[in-house]
Amino acid sequence: MMLVNASKKEIELKLEAVGFQFLAFNLRSQNLNIDLSEAIREDGIFYISPTDCRRQLEKQLPTGVQLLDTDGDSLFFKFYKVVSKKVPVIARTDLSFPQNYLMEGALKIVPDSVIVKGPENEVDTITAVRTAKTTLTDLTSDFLINSRLTKEPHLENTEYATETVEISGKVSRFSEKVIPLSITVVNLPEGVAIQLFPEKVEVLVKASLDRLKDLNADDFQVIADYASLPEQSGNSFKLKLVKKPGDIYSVVLLQDRADFILKRE
């Protein structure tokens, strides 16, 4: 449970003591503790009765100081049921790069999720936690920054397990390469031969310089699906790129259709 507020912040007491005892008492802190583990719960309301409150306060008064009276009110307390859950962290970054520089792969966020803890009615509204907005310009090298997690105004009583995260990215110099690929026809019936025009198409690949050196036609596959002919008009296939490496920035088919002639074998 989380304490939200109490019905009052101060209690008026009537005390009796000799003068020097009052003088010493005034020099001490006048804060007294209320043990909430003794609160009574009734119909969802928590309270401490005047009798229990008086008993707790009397135990904390110095020797020679007598409690004659209190203001006689019960103390009421508002609690929320505390729940917690793990939600993802979303980085709010605005990144820009000079020509031929790009970020290789995705942003890395550490930690990439955070435990949020608070009243159920607040925590239930949280699907993700966002970082403060960060702008980085003209990036030519790897970066790592600390970013503060933001909190929506209505999350007054919600706490995050951590207040900041690390955001990093790998920046590389990129270039382009054109690779010719043969077209593979799939789902071709038996007894049917096909001639494509053209038989090869080119893809424009953008990747880091080191990665481009290792790329070749075997890393890609372009298909023409015979089974899709009823959905297409004319004598041409819609080409699909169905295989590509996952560690390149982009790949684009420079020609996405191929004409064909069918022959019976």
Q: For each of the chain's 265 residues, which pLDDT tens digit applies? A: 878 788 888 888 888 888 777 776 665 667 888 898 888 988 878 999 999 999 998 888 888 888 898 888 889 998 888 899 999 999 999 999 998 898 888 899 999 999 999 988 899 999 999 999 999 999 999 999 999 999 999 998 899 999 999 999 999 899 999 999 999 999 988 888 888 999 999 999 998 888 899 999 999 999 999 888 765 556 888 999 999 998 888 999 999 999 988 877 6
Strand partners for 48: 75
Residue 127 is classified by DSSP as S
Domains, the chain, in order of start with CATH, read 2-80 (no CATH), 82-173 (2.170.120.40), 176-264 (2.170.120.30)
What sign does the CA torsion over 225, 228, 230, 236 have? negative
> Distance between CA 241 and CA 227 in Å, rounded?
16
> Distance between CA 252 and CA 181 in Å, rounded?
12
Task: Count other C-beta atoms under 10 Å from residue 48's C-beta.
Answer: 22
Output the pTM of the full model. 0.59
